[in-house]
Amino acid sequence: MFLLQIEWDPIKFIDLGFFKLHFYSLMWITAFILGFQITKRIYKNEGESEESLDSLFIYSVLGIMLGARLGHVIFYQSELITEDFFSIFLPFKFKGGFEFTGFQGLASHGAAIAMIISMYLYNKKVLHKSVLWILDRVVIPVALGAVFVRIGNFINSEIIGKETGSDFGVIFKQLGETAPRHPAQLYEAFCYIFVFLILFYFYWKTKKSEQQGFLFGLFLVLLWSVRFFVEFVKEAQNLERASWALNTGQLLSIPFIIIGLYFMFVYKPKTKLS
């Protein structure tokens, strides 16, 4: 009867004494390491130097992490600006006592915006090609990274789903839950695997990488469509739902999907890639 019901009560961190090593942080680190290896293979295929790859890694880590953090604060936890300002930028909590928290409170919408900005700066300072050239390629490892981020959310018992109303689902014991909920984090992680595989296929097996903006647009359409539909089984975060049934995550996803469709089917580059 309860074969499809899981009681989830994981160990979230390893206490090393001087600080706590959170598994959520390890998921982010894993995402960046795998992303670096995938991008290295792509850069080798494109004949780009290792020096430009090293710079890309720095721009990506700083941009995505800062953007993800600011996105969370702006969209979901704005009270931190006045209540615990320095915790926005540092992996520590100061309110109620000093504590190392690691990577906490990161929003994918903020990360997406910051990725675009950081790639613009990277291209201007280092690559000197076009912003879309680099975006068409970095979205492949980013899609895989999203898988590990959502697994990290599941480990942390955060961004939980709605109650299933049946024996199916996950009981998040550390939240004091007794009813099964949708493992929305795992739904997303599973779907993002296919987003990665589709992008990987289009890059290596087709000539779509030669169409400026196509892979970037495909990434936006696929990833944010997944996010839009999974939101229907998620509990609302901090902000209330709109009166017409769409929540903040869905409202923020729609512009990304529209932009993606534009780059896939409408956008025409002014100049050809060298």
CA distance 114 to 117: 5
Q: In which band, very low, low, confident or very high, does the pLDDT at 118 lie, cut at 50, 70 and 90?
A: very high
Residue 214 lies inside a defined structural domain of this protein: yes
Q: In which band, very low, low, confident or very high, does the pLDDT at 80 lie, cut at 50, 70 and 90?
A: low
Residue 98 lies inside a defined structural domain of this protein: yes
Phi and psi at residue 22, to the nearest 5°? -80, 135
Structural tokens at position 98: 């000093």
Q: Residues 189-195: what's their mean pLDDT?
A: 98
State pLDDT tens for residues 7-22: 998 887 676 766 667 7
State pLDDT tens for residues 171-182: 999 899 999 999
State pLDDT tens for residues 246-273: 887 888 899 999 999 999 999 988 755 4
Domain that holds residue 153: 8-236+244-265
Residue 116 lies inside a defined structural domain of this protein: yes
Phi and psi at residue 42, to the nearest 5°? -65, -45
Residue 270 lies inside a defined structural domain of this protein: no
State pLDDT tens for residues 235-247: 876 544 444 578 8
Residue 94 lies inside a defined structural domain of this protein: yes
State pLDDT tens for residues 52-61: 989 998 998 8
Residue 249 lies inside a defined structural domain of this protein: yes
Structural tokens at position 39: 């991008």
Give Cα separations from 56 to 52, 112, 206 (angstroms).
6, 16, 25
- pLDDT at position 84: 65
Residue 274 lies inside a defined structural domain of this protein: no
Instruction: Please tell me the total count of domains within the chain.
Output: 1
Structural tokens at position 170: 């996950």
Residue 229 lies inside a defined structural domain of this protein: yes
- pLDDT at position 274: 43
